Structure 1
């Protein structure tokens, strides 16, 4: 039998996403994209902050212990956790109101890969942008639902999926800049695996943990793309993993309850919560964005 993740926070998120562990603050942060909220809790789930926004915010990069760089529907913005002050860093698709940000992650070089998609889903009008040191570059076009952005520990490989394709891809990246330096090739064809590929993170051993939307699980893939292990989750819409805790061996998992029927919600009363499992392998600390 597969191990089963346990409930940490019954947050009832419509679309829980973008979790990350802030090692400087020793807190887990995550978003409810649809309700425009950022949450923070300690390792044991004690509430430690809640912030509401006037636009969609899907992900964040750590600047320091006081500030985050938010990936919002109109661009990258500096956000002060204490004062709530927000200022623009770079506009991203601010002229495309139909789009919003989605899955995003910081490369070991400090480059922030930021995904965008159509809010109503379906059309392949999303992209992935690379931001580092004041420079913004579009590196992927024609994406429907960008997901699973994550990087090998040495910064030489990027992983990514367009969720409907059911294929996780990889490409070589420059470890110093985080820019792609090769062609995208197949890492794993996951059409026969439970659910659809959603968010992902790489552990300290270079294995990829991929959350499975509609699959009730997170799957750990070996560097050769084979399944290493599966952790079951007691709700179906699992969105994204993040390693955290004092030893980075606690895997946190965000989930969603949007689009679920009344019958499904009755069966999954804690859908939209944050779950966790303690593992024998550590994750990697979140890289800081280079502004």
Structure 2
């Protein structure tokens, strides 16, 4: 069902805050972050004055936010900003993109490069502002999510070769290793955009080219999908009191008629994982 029937440029970075029952998302090109109280329907809005690529929870009424080429802490009550790090993007790269807080409390964020020899990368940014490049060679870094034990990370490139990779992940150090290609250029089932894991380690992947959410196993097998009323879904996240409600954002459908844009939700048979918080190392 529709939670919000509204056209956004690129609605992304859906995040559920269990403590408040709020659903957060951003509209990337509009440079705007939204929060919806799912009980009362009250919506808040913050304009940051430049593209908001992605964000995560940071505790104490704050978000860790990826702007075009920098990472900040943003206070929701005052709008105050604190610079965490500046990402030195190679010349020609447009901006940062999909990002999430990982099991080690660091913020992981990728970049975009639509050139013939893409240099988009995946970065790790910790609470001290240290920036490490983990891997590179992407057109559009996307799809970040971790399994329940925090020891497997999924990551995709939603343009170019349109692949999904699986990595071993160290929640102690944030290091990634043992890269395996799970899916590549699967036009029949849709390119892999934003993603999320449920508690049984099934990866739920937005497929904007097929108007659905794909369910993918740890071995890369397609386990099924959920067709959606929105035309171009971008990001799923689990929420609700029992973490069994799946919310999904979308990007501009480009259609003149209404009813194909916004945020939708549906119920899952299994719960998803609670988001990690920046600066907080999770005990696994």
Establish whether TM, by shorter chain, passes 0.5. Answer: yes
1:122 positional shift: 4.5
Q: Does 1:30 align with 2:25?
A: yes
1:42 positional shift: 2.2
**1:265 matched residue in structure 2:** 256
1:24 positional shift: 2.1
Among 41, 45, 49, the alignment partner of 1:46 is 41
**1:56 matched residue in structure 2:** 51
Structure 2: which 5+ residue stretches go unaligned? none
1:253-272 Cα shifts (integer Å, max 9, x gaps): 000116x2xxx332xx1333
Are the equivalent residues in 2 in contact too, given 1:168–1:190 (CA < 8 A)? Answer: no
Q: Does 1:237 align with 2:228?
A: no
Aligned-pair Cα RMSD in Å: 1.9
Matches for 1:1-291 after TM superposition, within 5 Å = 6-43=1-38, 46-93=41-88, 98-118=93-113, 121-122=114-115, 124-134=118-128, 135-164=130-159, 165-180=161-176, 182-189=177-184, 191-257=186-252, 260=254, 264-266=255-257, 269-290=258-279
Return the alpha-carbon distance in structure 2 between the equivalents of residues 242 and 219 of structure 1.
13
Query: Secondary structure of the equivalent of 2:196?
Result: strand
Q: Which moved more, 1:86-95 or 1:160-169?
A: 86-95
Structure 1: which 5+ residue stretches go unaligned? 1-5
**1:3 matched residue in structure 2:** none
Instruction: Mark the CA change 1:270 to 1:178 in structure 2 (over 3 Å): closer, same or farther.
Output: farther
Query: Secondary structure of the equivalent of 1:150?
Result: strand
Return the alpha-carbon distance in structure 1 between the equivalents of residues 205 and 173 of structure 2.
24
Are the equivalent residues in 2 in contact too, given 1:99–1:126 (CA < 8 A)? Answer: no
Number of equivalenced pairs: 277
1:139 positional shift: 0.9
Query: Secondary structure of the equivalent of 2:174?
Result: coil
Return the TM-score normalized by structure 1.
0.89
Return the alpha-carbon distance in structure 1 between the equivalents of residues 69 and 215 of structure 2.
33
Query: Secondary structure of the equivalent of 2:256?
Result: helix
Are the equivalent residues in 2 in contact too, given 1:190–1:197 (CA < 8 A)? Answer: no
